[in-house]
Each structure stands twice: as structure tokens, then as C-alpha cells.
Amino acid sequence: MSHLTTEIDSTQAGNPSAGQMRAGVYRGKGSVVVERVPIPEIGEGEVLFRVAACGICGTDIKKIHHGFIAPPQILGHELAGTIVKTGRGVTKFKPGDRVMSFHHIPCGACFYCERKLFSQCPGYKRTGLTAGFDPNGGGFAEYVRAMPWIVQRGMLALPADVTFEEATFVEPVNTCLKAVRKARVAPGESVLVIGQGPIGMLLAILAKHEGARVYASDPMAGRRAASLRFGVSEAFDPSAVNLSEEIRRRTEGRGADAVLVAVPSPALVPEALALARPGGRVLLFAHNDPILRLEFPAAAVGIEEKEILGSYSASVDDQEESAALVFERRLPVRELISHRFPLERIADAIALAAHPQDTTLKVVITHA
């Protein structure tokens, strides 16, 4: 079959299983291989859309490099594209519509949803996007099937002037906005963000958006320079300065009101607690794999009353706001993209995202 272009041909549109597509298939620990797989079939209430761009998330990297999931899988959940087919009963969208899509949506009615703990909702844990195999996002393929609850409540139309690449940031912006608010970042506070990869930078940008004075640390000079361009007050090299002394010097000796940790290192947890003031907050964003174990001084929590908080995935309550922040270009998301790779080079893209260079920020897979 010839290379797929911007649309499914008439035969495939009538019968998606008649066609094939390219996909980066996870085949085991450390291995993603570009293969031909069937274009997903859709049912009632579902849509099929062609992926135009998909960001590589740190969660994707962990799953691939640590083998946390059973192969085969097609990953990728920071995605945007064009609808090519709609199932019976779909009225919200039509072929040709440009969209971004979340991959998890809560039920809205359970014990956890009533308490706004949406990511703990059993329904939220069902992935509603798939390109085949077990549902797992599917953005590393050419076409993705969106299930009814995603079509109804988790898919957003794109304004005409918003690019697909920009739209891929709506989901990660949502997750970071949720984290910043979980940490109760307030105007006038001093916030330290540890790690200035793409997620760390989004956390810093959003903490500044909430009115805080933001400091950052990262061993890479290129990332420190980028964080300064994006509005961080100061960026420190933790290997060259005493970070605790620097932060205390800027906070009348107290320490940071909140420390946001965007690097999955166990050693950074006690360090973050030491950098926070008494009664301050430490938000762990990157410590989300199932085998990591943490240790920290009990007195930091039990005597100094410092809080350790976690934040996982997106919040449906922030869905419209996170989209507006991206669509109205109130955040510099375009400038966060440092590398673009075609699907055929997904292995190279994942390798770079997993082992970033000095200037590596967001890595995006783009589809011709």
C-alpha cells in the first residue's frame, strides 16, 4: 500500500480495517519499532483522527526504558490531529475538524470525582485513545481511535490559528497547572523548581503565572539559559553553588515557600525538604514509577511541618483553562520545542528525550 497522506482514501474510510498505517510499536524494554499495523476501526459514538503531532512525555520514556508495561503497545498521549471519520451518533465533530484530545476523562459521579480527585476515579484510569493493542494513547501512530467518553468530554476543537504542535501542549499544561495549584502556589511566594526539562519549565512558567517569584536549578547551562528567557528570576547550577544558601539568602533565611521537583531522583526528596521553609510544601511531580522508593528525615515533616505532596495527570476542572492558556498564547509553548522528528525516526527521538543534550527541551513527533 502506498504511503498514507492527509486523508484515508474512500475504500479505507468506508472500512478502516482495509487499510494499514505506520506506528511506533513498543516491543519490549528499550525497543520501539516502526511497523505497519491496521488502522483502528471505530464504533458508535467514536471518531478516528489522523495524528499530526505528538509530544514525547517523560512517562512514555519511563514505560519504554524500564519495561513497566507489557508489549506490544502504541504509546503517545500528547497529541493533536484531524478527524477523518465519525461513528454513528457523533454530532459534536465532523471529518475535517482539527482537534486535540485527552486520553483520560473521569466519570464525574464517583466517590473520587465528588472530591475532585479525578485521577483516582476508576473510570479515569481507563485509557480512551488507542491505535491498536491495549489502549495506551496511540499518538505514536498515524491514526487514533477515540472512544465515546473521550469524544463527548475530552476532545477540544482547535482555533484556526493554533498549530497542531502548539495543541500538543494542552494536556501537559493541564498536568502542570494542576500540580502548581496542588502545591498552593500563591502570589508573592518564593518557589523553587528543581529540574528544567520541558515539564520543569512548564511548572516554572505556570508558577510565575500564578504570581510567584520563581527560581530554578538544573545542571545544564542551556536549560538554565532557557528558563531565564521564560521568566525565571534566577537559575542555579546545583553542582556549582550551595543551593540552600542561595535560596535562603533570597528568602530572609527561611527557605522556599514551595519546592516543585521535576526530576525522578530519590536523592532530591530530602534535598527539596531542606530547601523548603518550615511549614512549606514539596510537590513531587516526577516520582511516579511503581518501583521507586524514597527516604527523608522524619523531623522535616513531623517537627518542621513541611508537607510532601503528589500530583498525577490532568484535572478535568482545568481543561478549559489549560486550553485557553495555549490557544491564546499566554504561555510560550512553541519556544519549548527544541527537536522535531518524523515517525520513521521515533527511536532516535525517544533516545534524545531520554538522554537530553544541553539544549534539548521538548521533543515532538511530527507526521507528514
**pLDDT tens across 143-170, in order?**
999 999 999 999 999 999 999 999 999 9
User: Would you state the cell numbers that stand for residue 85, as one nine-digit string?
Assistant: 471519520
Residue range 10-169+333-366 forms a domain whose CATH class is alpha beta
Single pTM value for the model: 0.93
| Phi-psi group of 64: left, alpha or beta (phi > 0 → left; psi -120 to 50 → alpha; rest → beta) | alpha
Compute the mean pLDDT over every residue in the chain, rounded to the nearest whole number: 94
pLDDT per residue as tens digits for the range 82-118: 999 999 999 999 999 999 999 999 999 999 999 999 9
Residue-level pLDDT at 198:
96
**Which residues fall within 8 angstroms of residue 311, CB to CB, at 6 or more apart?**
175, 178, 179, 182, 183, 283, 284, 285
Strand partners, 234: 215
Residue-level pLDDT at 18:
56
Is residue 336 a contact partner of residue 172, using CB atoms and an 8 Å limit? no
pLDDT per residue as tens digits for the range 330-342: 999 999 999 999 9
Peptide bond between residue 72 and the one before it cis (omega within 30 degrees of 0):
yes
Cα–Cα distance, 19 to 41 (Å, whole number): 10
Tell me whether domains 10-169+333-366 and 174-310 share a fold: no
| DSSP-derived 3-state class of residue 364 | strand
pLDDT per residue as tens digits for the range 260-308: 999 999 999 999 999 999 999 999 998 888 888 999 999 999 999 999 9
pLDDT per residue as tens digits for the range 38-93: 999 999 999 999 999 999 999 999 999 888 899 999 999 999 999 999 999 999 99
| DSSP-derived 3-state class of residue 3 | coil
Q: The domain 174-310 is classified under which CATH number: 3.40.50.720, 3.30.70.980, 2.102.10.10, 2.40.37.10?
A: 3.40.50.720
User: Would you state the cell numbers that stand for residue 7, as one nine-digit string?
Assistant: 486523508
What ranges do the domains of the chain cover? 10-169+333-366, 174-310
Is residue 107 a contact partner of residue 124, using CB atoms and an 8 Å limit? yes
